[in-house]
Amino acid sequence: MGALGARRYWLIWAAVVPIAIWALVRSFGLEESGRLVPLLAFTPYAAVAALLVAGVATALRNWAAAAVAALATFCLALAVLPRAIGDGTVDAAGRETLTLLSANIKRGKADPTQVVALVERERPDLLMVQELTPGYVGKLDAAGLGRLLSQRVIAVFPGRRPKMPGLGIYASRPLRALGPHDNNALGAALRMPSGRSVRLVNVHPHTPKPGHIGEWRQSLEALPSAGRGAPWLLVGDFNATLDQAELRAVVDRGYRDAGDVAGMGLIPTWPEGETLPPLVTIDHVLADRRLGIVEYSVAQQPGSDHRAIGAVLALP
């Protein structure tokens, strides 16, 4: 092996080591550092990089590096690929169903007529809106949302930070305000035609960036656990992906991610219409495990940096 070949042989470790560390952190939920938390959202891209690095190491015949990279690829693929495969959707025949949409409107910049058009097309029982502003409430009304979804629970300026955008829950069925009720979450109870109730939380915690990691974690930890009483639905912009341990901890408290179950969990929802950072999936429908996942969808939302998401759920 010449000098150049020897250099390439050893330099591959500069790529293998970060990939191996990434796989270790993701596999065991070790992202205690504030800097690691945002990075973990890009794990699907790290999985692809790991596969490429394993191929290069193999081509260089650095078998040790190839083995480590292959193991990292396996661990990352085990974490990521199930979201593209899905498992557990149900047939809604004979069961009461609930159809919902969720839309982050980018502080009122999304086109309200397009939001209402989406509602008109999908005919949901429920619409969750994040980053709602007072002016946008009026724009939705002017576009005809009240004609389609006449019930609402709105917190435009919740909590102690009036500059934060608000949250709204619109429905075609009776709604009753329910905790939590702050900048990060808005709760309500929805009464179904059968008389049964479904408890809802419109979720929008702070972005997990330096200085706000603790607040983001606390917001996710404060979300209710499912499995007892009326079923829970946690819906909205979680500012988190399933590659971050904090969101997986919420799921483990009695929920399933509708996109994950439907095999569409890797379809990105943010940032729509931008090139950097890479697209990630931070909008979710977390359904009480007692609810059946019938369908899941992702839709364009002109004017917003988020795609809208939707789901059809079957009551137990």
Overall size of the chain counted in residues: 316
| Cis upstream peptide for 277 (omega within 30°) | yes
Can you say whether residue 254 is alpha, beta or left, with left for phi > 0 and alpha for psi between -120 and 50 degrees? left
Positive or negative torsion for Cα 18, 75, 260, 228: negative
pLDDT at 183: 65
Q: Are strands 197-203 and 232-237 parallel, antiparallel or unpaired?
A: parallel
> Terminus-to-terminus CA distance in the chain, angstroms?
66
Residue type, 311: A
279 DSSP 8-state letter: P
pTM, entire model? 0.94
Q: Name the residue among 99, 132, 98 with its Cα closest to residue 115.
A: 132
3-state DSSP assignment of residue 284: strand
pLDDT at 160: 45
* Locus of tokens 């917003």: 304
280 DSSP 8-state letter: B
Q: Name the residue among 178, 233, 230 with its Cα closest to residue 203.
A: 233
Please report, for residues 94, 126, 159, 232, the alpha-carbon distance to residue 236 in angstroms, rounded to integers and kept in the order given.
Answer: 28, 12, 18, 13
pLDDT at 159: 46
Give me the tens of pLDDT residue by residue for the chain, a chain 316 residues long: 455 556 667 899 999 999 999 999 999 999 877 788 999 999 999 999 999 999 999 999 999 999 999 999 999 999 999 999 999 899 999 999 999 999 999 999 999 999 999 999 999 999 999 999 999 999 999 999 999 999 999 998 644 454 568 999 999 999 999 976 666 899 999 999 999 999 999 999 999 988 889 999 999 999 999 999 999 999 999 999 999 999 999 999 999 999 999 999 999 999 987 666 769 999 999 999 999 999 999 999 999 999 999 999 999 9
Cα Rg, the chain, nearest whole Å: 21
Cα–Cα distance for residue pair 233/188, rounded to 1 Å: 10
**What are the CB-based long-range contacts (under 8 Å, 24+) for 134-140?**
135/108, 136/105, 136/108, 136/112, 137/168, 139/108, 139/112, 140/112, 140/115, 140/116, 140/170
Point out which residues pair with 178 in neighbouring strands. Answer: 187
211 DSSP 8-state letter: T
